[in-house]
Amino acid sequence: MSNYTNSPCAACKFLRRKCTSDCVFAPYFPPEEPTKFANVHRIFGASNVSKILHEVAPHQREDAVNSLAYEAEARLKDPVYGCVGAISVLQRQVLRLQRELEETNADLMRYASCLGSETTSAYGGRRG
Amino acid sequence: MSNYTNSPCAACKFLRRKCTSDCVFAPYFPPEEPTKFANVHRIFGASNVSKILHEVAPHQREDAVNSLAYEAEARLKDPVYGCVGAISVLQRQVLRLQRELEETNADLMRYASCLGSETTSAYGGRRG
């Protein structure tokens, strides 16, 4: 049963089965969030989700469910790339930022050396 | 049947079923790559993979299979976060790079204004 109400959890309600006190889904699929379970069920299947939950330590199950829900939602929005699409976008953004940072650092080095020679010239530094 | 050999595709071999000429898996799961199908089957289940393949246009199916294989492999390596872990790492990297770029741009502005006043002072520009 859900921790918060007397209703069966969203998973048991969806699967039309009795929600027992040791239900593996109940702590992570409260009845108020029916879509969360419907999504992971549609993409991974209830038995795969249950298998994954049993594979991870109890204190990591909430993170596991949330990452599965994130992946499932991404796959439903974009059946071709799912959340791998987000990875590609972020990888391209990282490459672009690294390039921009390199260019800005190069500009900074040029300014710094230019300022060095201006200062030397203006305040009587040695010149060749 | 696989396009390249007379063997059944990796999916039909795994599922121990006859691989027909219209097999939806055959073009994307050649018999030489048995792990690719085993992984997606373990995480998504064969019927969900088949459903996704039928939902997307034929020219997008290869990308869909490859992104599913990527997600499945990531989930097998990291059952808690799967490829959502990679998204978090990349998001943090983007934020760090954006901050670094902002700082470098601010340094550049300081150098530029400093160089401007040095130049003005050295070559007889107007001063207050």
pLDDT over 50 at A128, yes or no: no
Closest by Cβ to B98, choosing from A45, A71, A97: A97
CA distance B28 to B31: 10
B1: distance to nearest CA of chain A, Å?
23
Interface contacts (A, B; CB < 8 Å): 119
Q: Is A116 on the interface with B (CB under 8 A)?
A: no
> Is pTM, for the whole model, over 0.95?
no
CA distance from start to end of chain B: 85
Helix (H) or strand (E) holding A108: helix A84-122
Q: What ipTM does the predicted assembly reach?
A: 0.81
CB crowding B16-44: b at 16 or more within 10 Å, else e: eeebeeebbbbbbbbbeeeebbbbbbebb
Centre a 10 Å sphere on the Cβ of residue B118 and count the other Cβ atoms it contains: 17
pLDDT in tens, A21-79: 999 999 999 999 999 999 999 999 999 999 999 999 999 999 999 999 999 999 999 99
Q: Which two tokens stand for residue B13?
A: 């071999």
Nearest residue in B to A59, CA atom: B80
Q: Which two tokens stand for residue A83?
A: 């959340």
Q: Is B84 on the interface with A (CB under 8 A)?
A: yes
> Taking CB atoms and an 8 Å limit, are A119 and B119 in contact across chains?
no
Q: Which two tokens stand for residue B25?
A: 């898996």
Q: Which two tokens stand for residue A22?
A: 């040791």
Q: Which residue has the tokens 């290869």?
A: B62
DSSP character at residue B2: -
CB within 8 Å of A105: residues ≥ 6 apart: B104
pLDDT in tens, B70-97: 999 999 999 999 999 999 999 999 999 9
pLDDT in tens, B106-121: 988 888 787 776 655 5
Mean pLDDT rounded to a whole number for chain A: 88
Which pLDDT band holds residue A112 (cuts at 50, 70, 90)? Answer: confident
